Homo-oligomer: A and B are copies of this chain.
Amino acid sequence: MKFSPLISELITAFTSLPGVGKKSAQRMAFHLLERNRSGALQLSQALHDAMEHVKHCQACRTFTESAVCEICADPSREESAQLCVVESPQDVLSIEQTSEFKGRYFVLMGHLSPIDGIGPSEIGLTELNTLLDSGKFKEVILATNPTVEGEATAHYIAQMCNDKQLSATRLAHGMPVGGELEYVDGNTLIHAFTGRRSI
């Protein structure tokens, strides 16, 4: 015995979400059927609209339903002549929430990973190359993740910048603010020592 066909299909469809197993999918399906059908229909519509209309920003590659995203469409964002390269649209949001950076972004939508067949063209480096040649930017801030792949990607792009005599910088490593020394991993601690500053 299984649930009725439409319910079974809904449960199966929910398992295509990251982190959602069979039990959670069941809970989601019955929760919506019992308590929130209008919310479910809104989710159905939102999924449809986003999948049909969201594409990549022609300038920075982030996700947007416009030809060019809000940040790239803002001319004041070019005044600093800084381009910040990140791995994902979520990274853009994190940086924007600090209000620290006023330049433009380039979103790789991933990182170099030769083992998975992800080379320079898969992460938009052809488009990045064209953008760097536009002469709009003087500094490229490499804000890929401090992982093996993120570091490799940063070094690859730094080389591209060097070839063009463009300044490439990398986000600093160090102690997280509010963190406790006891719980910081050794590598981070080494970076924190090396990058120490006089107070």
Contacts and interface: CB of A to CB of B under 8 A. Distances in A.
Contacts of A93: 1-3
Number of copies: 2
Contacts of A97: 1
Interface stretch (A27-35, A122-130, A181-189): A27-35
A96 to B, nearest CB: 4
Interface size class of A (residues with CB under 8 A): 35 or more
A40 B13 CA distance: 8
A63 interface: yes
Contact of A41 (B6, B7, B41, B47): B47
Given A4-B65, A4-B69, A65-B6, A18 B31 contact: yes
Contacts of A46: 6, 9-10, 12-13
Interface string A1-27: 111111101101110111100001011
A2 B65 CA distance: 13
Contact of A47 (B47, B63, B92): B47
B41 A51 contact: yes
Nearest to A49: B6
A5 B46 CA distance: 10
List 7 tightest A-B contacts by C-beta distance, closest first: A16-B39, A44-B47, A1-B96, A13-B43, A13-B46, A4-B64, A44-B48
